[in-house]
Structure 1
Amino acid sequence: MELAKRIEDLEPQAAVDNSAKSTRKWHEKVLSYAHLVRRWTSYFWKINKAYLYSYEDLEQTIWYILMVGLQEFDGRGDEEQFLNWYIRNKIVSVIMYGKKPPKCTHLPFTPIRFDYVSPDDLAEVNGLFYSDLDGE
Structure 2
Amino acid sequence: MQRETARATVRVRLDPRRRHRQHRQVLQPDHLEGANHVRKSISNFSNWKKYEPYLRSLCNVIYARYGWNIESYEDLYQTACYLLLIALSDFDGRGDEAGYVKQYVRRKLFNMVKDGENAPKHNNHPFSFVRHRNQKVRFVLCEEESLELYRF
Q: Between Structure 1 and Structure 2, which shows a larger proportion of helix residues?
A: 1
Q: 1:68 aligns with which of 86, 94, 118?
A: 86
| Residue 31 (1) aligns with residue 31 (2) | no
Structure with the greater alpha carbon radius of gyration: 2
| Offset at residue 25 of structure 1 (A) | 3.9
Runs of 4 or more, structure 1, over 3 Å off, are 21-27
| 1:53 aligns with one of 71, 81, 89 | 71
- What does the per-residue CA deviation read over 1:88-136, in whole Å, with 9 as the maximum and x for residues that have no partner? 1111111100011121241111110149xxxxxxxxxxxxxx9x8163x
Aligned residues: 107
Gaps of 5+ in 1: 8-17, 116-129
Normalising by structure 1, we get a TM-score of 0.67
Q: Does 1:92 align with 2:103?
A: no
Post-superposition CA distance 1:19-43 (Å, at most 9, x none): xx95864553122211121111111
Q: CA RMSD in A?
A: 2.9
Structure 1: how far apart are the matches of 2:127 and 2:68?
Answer: 18
User: Is 1:2 matched with 2:2?
Assistant: no
The CA deviation at 1:58 is 0.3
- TM-score, normalization: structure 2? 0.60
Letter in 2 for 1:2: R
